Structure 1
Amino acid sequence: MTHNRHERRPGWGTAALLLISAVMVVTFVLLGNWQMRRLFWKLDLIETVEARAFGDEQPLPARFDADDHVYLRVSFDGTPLPQHILVKAVTELGPGYWVMQPYATDPGLLWVNRGFVPSAKKTSEQWATAPQHITGLIRPSAHQGTLLERNDPAANRWVARDTSQMSQALGLDASLPYFVDADHLAPLGASPRGGLTIVQFRNSHLSYALTWYAMAVLFLGALIWIALRYRKLLDS
């Protein structure tokens, strides 16, 4: 009896490997298909956002909808308030700060990112006068920071453009849930340096899909190999 049980064990083990391999093949194919759907969604999103960012200027939306208004090119008139907040930034020009300034506009209090200033030019006396007419791109309000670095209003240390938190820190009315990255509106070479928004989306869905499909092919090969061995075992 011990000898018969010993001969049956490889068959059960092989059947289990067949089942596991088949499940893995189906799983990897489904994951690859999901990534392909994400790829087409991302391509549509990129096309839509590029059309907004490089299209005709629009007025400020009466009601903000992230799906429809992120990176929308807008043009508006407003009254710049005297306050400002410097938000830590690293750009193609090097490390420094974004100059965030609140504006009174028809839809409400709106924060405007006037542009980048290096650390050597972080005092307002070194900047061009804030314009009343702004053109730029709508960006959604950011969170308070990351796990490694967060806004600290008490210390006047800012790493994220959180419009609500900035308004609270300056004792202002509630602000709109977005800000505007302004184009470079100052004279050439003057600070702040606007127009540095990078309209770019990471799109790795195709490589992910190909990886999942490759895994499916590998497990399919293993499935075929195990099935042939299983058949040979049954015929023996």
Structure 2
Amino acid sequence: MLRLSSQICKQSVTLQRLAGSTNTIPTVRLQLVTRKMTQQHPKVDFTTSIPIAKKKDKITALGWFLLIIPATTFGLGVWQVKRKIWKEQLIKDLDKQLHMEPVDLPDDLSQLSQMEYRLVKLRGRFLHDKEMLMGPRSLIRPDGGETQGGLFSQRDSGNGYLVITPFQLADRDDIVLVNRGWISRKHTEKETRALGQYQNEVELTAVVRQGETRPQFTPDHKDGQVYLYRDLNRMCKNSGAQPIFLDAVYDPKAPEGSPIGGQTRVTLRNDHLSYLVTWFSLSAATAYLWHRQIVRRIPF
């Protein structure tokens, strides 16, 4: 029995050794195959296989040059802001001059070219036989309001003419032109306003004005009696007056039918608000296009 059991034990040990050697062979074979594949195929670095986005191209010289457009339009908008402030202040100053104390008419009439909208005092008499009309014009009321009237208006209450009369200065030979004021269409004839045709020497307070250039689309004067704008050269040539134009102020004591004075308009255009809006809008639009096309490179 003892001999039989020892033989059985030896056989079991032998079988275990055979089984262990059988499992080792595939493992060795697998290690050899893996080592061979590693030698034939180097290790792949998968972190470098992902494509990296290219950096954005730099802005070219032409791109920077195109930036001049929004920069320039922005500068023009700022300039128009300054012009608007200056023009508004100028209008205020001129309006203030209209309410200052009048000064005597200078001996040298050429000084009046630097005194526009200043009040001056003068004495003399009107030369009614050389009277001229300028218009049509709407009436500026004494309170500063203006009636509606123009070239195509037929209402006598709002549409009429300005009476321009040569004025012979006292104690000198000079003749100047005085805008006596507004009359309606039905009073264009001198006979209809006889009470206002002063024959004696009078003293006036008037506002210094300058001549006008021919406005765009304005037709030429019909004759030497009716003028569409302050054409000093032609008015003076037909009347023999000096190139001096004065607007008589409103006189509440004037006889009925007399021209209504105080027809001075501060004719300074102030369109700077629309200009600055235009320039700033162009600047914003071109800046957006520049950023879209040059910086972000987004096609349309």
- Smaller-chain TM-score bracket: 0.7 to 0.9
Asked if residue 79 in structure 1 is aligned to residue 125 in structure 2, the reply is yes
SS of equivalent residue, structure 1 residue 197? coil
> Does residue 159 of structure 1 match 2:228?
yes
Match 1:141 to one of 211, 221, 227 = 211
Which residue in 2 is equivalent to 1:125? Answer: 191
Tell me, which stretches of 5 or more residues in structure 2 are unaligned?
1-56, 139-146, 148-156
Q: 2:84 aligns with which of 39, 43, 46?
A: 39
Q: 1-side partners of 2:287 and 2:215: how far apart?
A: 45
Aligned residue in 2 for 1:112: 178
Deviations 1:114-149 (A, max 9, x none): 111111111222221336111121111234665431
Q: Percent identity?
A: 25
Conserved 8 A contact 1:139-1:179: yes
Corresponding residue for residue 242 of structure 2: 176
The structure with the greater share of residues assigned to strand is: 1
Letter in 1 for 2:164: M
Describe how 1:195-214 pairs up with structure 2 within 5 A: 195-199=262-266, 201-214=268-281
> Given the alignment of the two structures, is residue 26 of structure 1 paired with residue 92 of structure 2, yes or no?
no
Q: How many residues are treated as equivalent by the alignment?
A: 217
Q: Give the Cα–Cα distance (whole angstroms) in 2 for the partners of residues 66 and 220 of structure 1.
A: 49
Deviations 1:81-126 (A, max 9, x none): 1321112222125222111100112482100011111111112222
Are 2:134 and 2:163, in contact at CA under 8 Å, matched by a contact in 1? yes
In 2, Cα distance between the equivalents of 1:51 and 1:90?
24
In structure 2, the CA distance between the partners of 1:40 and 1:138, relative to structure 1 (3 Å rule), is same
> Does the Cα contact within 8 Å between 1:145 and 1:151 map onto a contact in 2?
no
Task: Supply the distance in 2 between the matched residues of 1:179 and 1:72 (Cα, whole angstroms).
Answer: 12
Larger radius of gyration: 2
CA displacement at 1:42 relative to structure 2: 1.0
Higher relative CO (CA 8 A, sep ≥ 6), structure 1 or 2? 1
- Quote how far apart the aligned CAs of 1:179 are: 0.9
| CA–CA separation in structure 2 for the residues paired with 1:200 and 1:189 | 29
Structure 1 match to 2:292: 225
Q: TM-score, normalising length from structure 1?
A: 0.77
Q: Over aligned residues, Cα RMSD in angstroms?
A: 3.0
